[in-house]
Structure 1
């Protein structure tokens, strides 16, 4: 190991130790128990399948009663913890993924706040509803080829809540912490990019966040209809002329309007030939329901025209070799007025799939949905514990040894360890880190 590598490891160890101490300060009640619970999640042998079993870990120096008492009566200073998580973002153009995941509680008939939320079903792969709680996550994404993310915010979405209002509140919180750290507006860098999957109202999010200097990238369904806002030919007879302009159907086999921007990437490693087209200053006819019904309750008020860029992405093949059965459509909005870089945007959306790897690890390895908790408040505290545990794995990814099994392949050159392998070696690193928590 070179002197430079050794110095980097020392710095990484210092960053991790400082993060653990700062996290301890974010626990105003039952701090020692909650901190030990986080270490128990990280150091458990194998996947976490039972919450009470964590009380048997050597790192958890209390009984099972204290474990449940900490989740029931403990506290997490969420704003302070959010600020701590945002401060761990790398020094590069910022990109975030926004997505919701279900915490299933189908058998907890007496638990309050449950709703029917979509969740994947193992029986046929279809999405079915299941009773439980829904949590929306915002995670920092990396630009390179990596499955690592950085959760910076999580919130429970009560049943019946407006997804636009919930996303607006969370994004504003993240933007506030970025502004406090001086990273919201940096000369020479694009505004932070927040990426949403299909299912969010692109026009609603753009309207709600019009006063926040962030970019939005939202996947939209292929059956949507947009308008270009150009004056239509004068209609004969009385009446107002059309205000929306020419119709632009995404499902049309051939769009007659020429794109404002076009990019062709002849050959990519995973997708082959990629064609990207963009049409600027497009808008939808928004309806007076959902978010816009709350913002414009008076029926005699005119609904706004929310403009953005519609992007079409066509690929030659999928990573598994199959041919794509549909085109991907994206919506981009930037209130700063900066012209979009479509080459960056289509690649940025692909990084959103890293959130799926994070959710899979949180559920299958760290036991996020394995805990059978009584109230949504307890589930939120447990969610923060699991999120912080994942962030510690991320900070330790260059500090642990690769304890791979004989049948496992070594990581490819230039690629670090996966989160699963980092967790396997974390318990040995924990002995060097120590703990700020006190003995009972």
Structure 2
């Protein structure tokens, strides 16, 4: 599972390589952004264990960074994985970047996205067509005939209908065919619960069953919970560090702490607070809450600190030069220049 999250530092003018990043919705903040590729265990939806958690520089985007991370991880895996991404990655640019990687992709699509079917046979005149039927997700009159429809009863959501359309592609990635899925909650459990249709796109070698595939995307939300856990419980974005090397090193330690909590989950005893209910399967927060008992049992190999007395401080009249201040990086979308058409008039 992959996603990105900002580390906002609006007042850190001496921190190099800050930029403008989306904080959520239409809110934009100043800081740095990190891309995370994590592994979500099948038996629990509470855990998301980061495999790579790295800073997105001003020369990169979230799409190029996620592509690089997929290349680094997939080359060490014995089986072909399934990676799920949010709708920010559901476009032809990301599909073109990941064309040579041994990975199956499950992408969320924006509700106003357009995809295209297989073009008609070549008529013999002009250039061959690249696109066929235009499938606009928010226009029901453009829906083609479905390839498969599945209706199941979910214990938590209610009656679910999954519809599949085959052999579609984005306009700028005609060579990568996708399976389009629409997940609808027909009869939700609860009177006031309303769900919008969920649009997904799958591309890869061997497609899982519809009943399993849409549930696999629901596990992607575990990485959202991990970001909240890392910021609120592990204090990922709390230190006011002044160098990129320190921020990257601290971010790497946050990933290692998450793995340490995962390995210690079976050795921890649940210690709920008076207002908390006990848990059979411990979440990351409960393991972190019970982890001091493990530290007290195993001890620490570090020696006790020794007092050094009072520091002499700076000499009288000595002052430190001001630190270098860096401007905020503004990324601009490169647009191709349109060729000017000069009309020839008769003399």
Judge same fold: TM > 0.5, yes or no.
yes
* Aligned 8 A contact 1:263 1:275 in 2: yes
Largest Rg, 1 or 2: 2
Q: How many aligned positions are there?
A: 305
Match of 2:107 among 207, 215, 218: 218
Partner of 1:263: helix, strand, or coil? strand
Structure with more of its chain in strand, by fraction: 2
Report the equivalent of 2:151: 264
For residue 362 of structure 1, report the CA deviation from its aligned partner.
0.6
Match of 2:129 among 242, 247, 251: 242
- Stretch moving more, 142-151 or 106-115: 142-151
Q: CA separation in 2, counterparts of 1:142 and 1:320? A: 29
1:280 equivalent in alignment to 2:166: yes
Report the equivalent of 1:369: 237
For residue 368 of structure 1, report the CA deviation from its aligned partner.
0.3
Partner of 2:71: helix, strand, or coil? helix
For residue 429 of structure 1, report the CA deviation from its aligned partner.
0.4
For residue 432 of structure 1, report the CA deviation from its aligned partner.
3.0
Partner of 2:68: helix, strand, or coil? helix
1:328 equivalent in alignment to 2:198: yes
* Aligned 8 A contact 2:87 2:107 in 1: yes
* Aligned 8 A contact 1:232 1:245 in 2: no
TM-score of the superposed pair, with normalisation by structure 1 = 0.64
For residue 381 of structure 1, report the CA deviation from its aligned partner.
0.5
For residue 202 of structure 1, report the CA deviation from its aligned partner.
3.4
Q: CA separation in 2, counterparts of 1:320 and 1:105? A: 41
Structure with more of its chain in helix, by fraction: 1
* Aligned 8 A contact 1:225 1:284 in 2: yes
The structure-2 alpha-carbon separation of the partners of 1:320 and 1:427, relative to structure 1 and needing over 3 Å to count, comes to farther
The structure-2 alpha-carbon separation of the partners of 1:321 and 1:416, relative to structure 1 and needing over 3 Å to count, comes to farther
Report the equivalent of 1:427: 292
* Aligned 8 A contact 1:264 1:274 in 2: yes
For residue 245 of structure 1, report the CA deviation from its aligned partner.
1.2
Name stretches of at least 5 consecutive residues in structure 1 with no aligned partner.
1-96, 121-125, 179-183, 186-190, 287-302
Q: Deviations over 1:159-186 (max 9, x none)?
A: 35233321111001111232xxxxx33x
* Cα RMSD, aligned residues only: 2.4
* Aligned 8 A contact 1:271 1:316 in 2: no
Equivalent residues in 2 for 1:310-329, closer than 5 Å:
310-316=180-186, 322-324=192-194, 326-329=196-199
Report the equivalent of 1:231: 120
* Aligned 8 A contact 1:206 1:333 in 2: no
Q: CA separation in 2, counterparts of 1:310 and 1:132? A: 36
For residue 201 of structure 1, report the CA deviation from its aligned partner.
4.2
Equivalent residues in 2 for 1:25-424, closer than 5 Å:
97-120=1-24, 126-159=25-58, 161-178=60-77, 184-185=78-79, 191-231=80-120, 239-240=126-127, 242-265=129-152, 267-286=153-172, 304-316=174-186, 322-324=192-194, 326-334=196-204, 337-411=205-279, 415-424=280-289
Partner of 1:316: helix, strand, or coil? strand
- Stretch moving more, 387-396 or 129-138: 387-396
Q: CA separation in 2, counterparts of 1:256 and 1:206? A: 23
